Each structure stands twice: as structure tokens, then as C-alpha cells.
Amino acid sequence: MAIFSPGFQGRRRSATGLLPPGQYETNGFPVLSAGPTPRVPLDTWRFAITTESGQQHGWSWDEFRALPTAKPTVDIHCVTKWSKFGTSWEGVSLDTLLDGVETSAAHVLVHSYGGYTTNLPLADLRGGKAWLVHTFDGKPLTPEHGGPVRLLVPHLYFWKSAKWVKRLDLLVTDQKGFWERAGYHNYGDPWREQRYDGD
């Protein structure tokens, strides 16, 4: 069951070209989740990338925090039609995490603490398009917004930016995630309004 924060509202932008079709701007940051919020202690947190051959690359919290960081400022767009402009994050580029990972995979299945999954093409995580973020607006990412670490893929609808991320499985064949199996679009491009299967 989805959990929504009450009382968030936004206003439409007109003739700016900044909003994808069907979206409105919000100044808040609505909290939407597909279940309870996991609370992951940093001393047990671990992130891994598993290749199609079963090889695993893993990082503890201290190892992850020792990696070079980036500070992207991006617009985000939720499938429930809100958009938030100029959000500021800090985290590790997926390019950094995938450096040295040998794979011929074309797909990724993202796994989160709590059991959530979502799928993406591997190409959408490369080329400076995606990060694992631990900081929002200069402060540690709260559990409600996916902390300690969430995936950030701002060019796709925000359900693809999985909260509480713990593992990426690199796959030769695409495998749908939680919302994709429930009828959401397999890719989720907000500029093409790919909200649901068939859009």
C-alpha cells in the first residue's frame, strides 16, 4: 500500500518548457513509498554490484564514503505529476562505481532494503546520468527520502530513483521491478509521459 504525505500542493508553470507534460511544480518534497520505511544502521549498510556472471563488487559505508563525490543539481519528476526544480544532492556517480566492473549486460535490476525493486537499461546509469546519493540540500538523506543512500536518475520518473538502495544486478535480459510488474511503464520518460504500460 502506498503511503503519501498529506497536504502537498503545487502550481503549474506556463510556457517555460521546464515542466514535462502533465506535471506541476511543487516547492515541497512529497514522501511516497510502496511500504514501510527501512531504518538501515550505517555499520551494517552495504552496497553491491553483481554482474551477470555472479561476480560481486561491494562497499561498506566507510568504503563508499571514501569514494570521490559529485554534487548534482537536478530537476526531479514524480509519476504522480509533481516536479521539483533545482534539487541539490551529493553522492557517488554510477560511473565511479561501475569503473572496472567487467560486464556485457544491458539491463539492471535495482534492489532496496525493504524489498523494493526497479529496472533500468544500464546505459541510463552511465555517462554522468545517475548517482548513489547520501546528502540532500546539504544534510544527510533522511530515511523517509531514501537514506542512508538512494539511487538518483533524474531524467526518468522518480520511482526509478530507488530509495534505500543496496544492490544492482547486471542482467543480460530485462527483468521488471515492483511497479513495472504492477502496470507502470517499463522505462518511464517524463517528457514522453511514459507513466503506465502502453503509454
For residue 14, what pLDDT is reported? 35
Q: Which CATH superfamily is domain 44-185 in?
A: Oxidoreductase, molybdopterin-binding domain (3.90.420.10)
For residue 17, what pLDDT is reported? 54
The dihedrals phi and psi of 183, each to the nearest 5 degrees, come to 110, 0
For residue 77, what pLDDT is reported? 96
Per-residue pLDDT of the chain (199 residues; tens, 9 = 90+): 343 333 334 444 433 458 999 999 998 887 776 678 899 999 999 999 999 999 999 999 999 999 999 999 999 999 999 999 999 999 999 999 999 999 999 999 999 999 999 999 999 999 999 999 999 999 999 999 999 999 999 999 999 999 999 999 999 999 999 999 999 999 999 999 999 998 8
For residue 55, what pLDDT is reported? 95
- Please state the pTM of the whole predicted model: 0.89
For residue 109, what pLDDT is reported? 98
